Amino acid sequence: MDENKVHLINKIFNNETIRTIWDKDDEKYYISIVDIVGVLSDSKEPRKYWNWLKNKLKKEENFEVSSITRQ
């Protein structure tokens, strides 16, 4: 795992902890959107905020949010 990339991600978000996973096979990072939403929205319940936002985007913008992971 390249610690410099993880450090950069955390630095971008004011040194908040952003969960990341490195997939060696695909050579990609997977980053927790819930952690990012929590930092950007300053929400006490980022998981609920993210769920609300996804539903709003689907209804109002005809926008489809997809994920390869599940809670």
Domain assignment present for residue 70? The answer is no
pTM above 0.85, yes or no: no
Domain assignment present for residue 26? The answer is yes
Domain assignment present for residue 71? The answer is no
Residue 12: pLDDT over 80: no
Give the model's pLDDT for residue 6.
63
Counted domains in the chain: 1
Token code pair at residue 37: 């939403």
Give the model's pLDDT for residue 45.
93
Token code pair at residue 50: 């993210």
- Which domain, by its residues, includes 50? 3-61
Give the model's pLDDT for residue 2.
58
Q: Could you give the 3-state DSSP secondary structure of residue 20?
A: strand
Pure H helices in 19-66:
33-41, 46-61
Domain assignment present for residue 36? The answer is yes
Instruction: Give tens-digit pLDDT for 13-65.
Output: 777 888 888 888 888 888 888 998 898 888 889 999 999 888 888 888 777 66
In single-letter form, the type of residue at position 19 comes to R
